[in-house]
Amino acid sequence: MKTFKIRLKSKEMSNNNMSSFLVFDILEDFEFKTGQFVMLTVPADMGEVKRAYSIASPAYEAQKNYQFSIYVKKASQAGASKFLTQDIQPGQILEAKGPMGHFVDNEDTDKYLLISSGCGVGPVLAHYQRLKETQKYKKMVNIFGEKYVDEIVDSAKNKFTKDDSNTKSIFFFSREEELPDWSRKGYVQHALDEAIEFLEDNNIKVFVCGLPQMVDDIKQKLIDKGVDSNKIIFEKY
């Protein structure tokens, strides 16, 4: 683990201005595995705070471009997430420490189920891009959930590319009245049977990230459907 500096290169906000997708230049040597997180030191209104943020881009991209991204949702009025959504501007340098975390893929598998909600999308997006790039899978389903369409940052969402015969993405919005045609009303839990049907197997590896209650519920439901609990890799926040 090391301490190093990063500099904000670009920032894109969601339409409701509550979520940001931040791309940082990595200013010193730093290696990580896709799915890991860093501890950022943030000059927030409440004073300097250290908070964990998952890296939302795959490791190969960092090696190629010396960049990584994070996806942040505003969760406080004066804390790190307020700074990283409302205040930070390109050029700002932050201190990062890492890598940390076990939301990593230690062994390639044929079939993947990726599930995320809210700002949990970050490390799942990283795995999705890694799998699409390496093509070391036979089938993959990606399920994402949010309350409203305006809460997601377009460029992050658009990294979930078009479906093909091996890959399927399902987007849920739980409270949206005007659903875009690429989405459905409901919660990520609602598509588990459909996902297993598409994967034609319950011998799958699962990456699930989001609020603790959602992660626990998904884990139990998948175990009940015969998925091996050792193959459910999760991060809660």
**Which residues contact residue 134 at a Cβ distance below 8 angstroms, ignoring those fewer than 6 apart?**
none
Which of 4, 137, 187, 237 touches ligand FAD by CB under 6 A? 237
| Single residue of 73, 111, 127, 157 touching ligand FAD by CB under 6 A | 73
Of 3-11, 79-87, 104-112, 195-203: span binding ligand FAD (CB under 6 A) = 79-87
3-state helix, strand, coil in the chain (%, to 5): 30, 35, 35
Which alpha helices (DSSP H) does 91-204 contain, by range?
121-134, 154-157, 192-199
CA distance 132 to 127: 8
As to burial, measured by CB atoms within 10 angstroms (0-12 exposed, 13-18 middle, 19+ buried), residue 41 is middle
Among 14, 57, 69, 81, binds ligand FAD (CB under 6 A): 81
One character per residue 9-28, x = contact with ligand FAD (rule: CB under 6 A) = --------------------
Candidates 8, 62, 96, 119; binder of ligand FAD (CB under 6 A) is: 119
Using left for φ > 0, alpha for ψ between -120 and 50, and beta otherwise, residue 72 falls in: beta
Per-residue x/- track, 121-160, ligand FAD (CB under 6 A): -x--------------------------------------
| Residues in touch with ligand FAD (CB under 6 A) | 37, 49, 51-54, 70-73, 75-77, 79-82, 101, 119, 122, 235, 237
